[in-house]
Amino acid sequence: MATREFDRRVIMRMLNDQVGEKVHQRLGEQMIGTLVLNTPVGMPSTWVSPPPPSYQPGHARFSWQTRLNQEVTIDIPGIDPGGAATIARGVGTIGKATLNDSIVFSNNAPYIGRLNQGWSPQQAPGFVDRAIKGAISSLGRSRITI
State how far the Cα of 34 lies from the Cα of 2, in Å rounded to an integer. Answer: 52
pLDDT recorded at residue 41: 95
State how far the Cα of 43 lies from the Cα of 56, in Å rounded to an integer. Answer: 10
pLDDT recorded at residue 146: 47
pLDDT recorded at residue 35: 94
DSSP string, 85-137: HHHHHHHHHHTT--TTPPEEEEE--TTHHHHHTT-STTS-TTHHHHHHHHHHH
pLDDT recorded at residue 124: 92
Q: 105 forms bridges with which residues in the sheet? A: 66
State how far the Cα of 84 lies from the Cα of 73, in Å rounded to an integer. Answer: 22
C-alpha distances out from residue 102 to 63, 93, 94, 131, Å:
19, 11, 10, 18
pLDDT recorded at residue 2: 57
pLDDT recorded at residue 135: 76
Asked if 81 and 75 touch (Cβ cutoff 8 Å), the reply is no
For the chain, 146 residues long, the average pLDDT of each consecutive 10-residue run is 61 69 88 94 85 86 96 93 98 94 94 91 91 78 56
pTM beyond cutoff 0.85: no
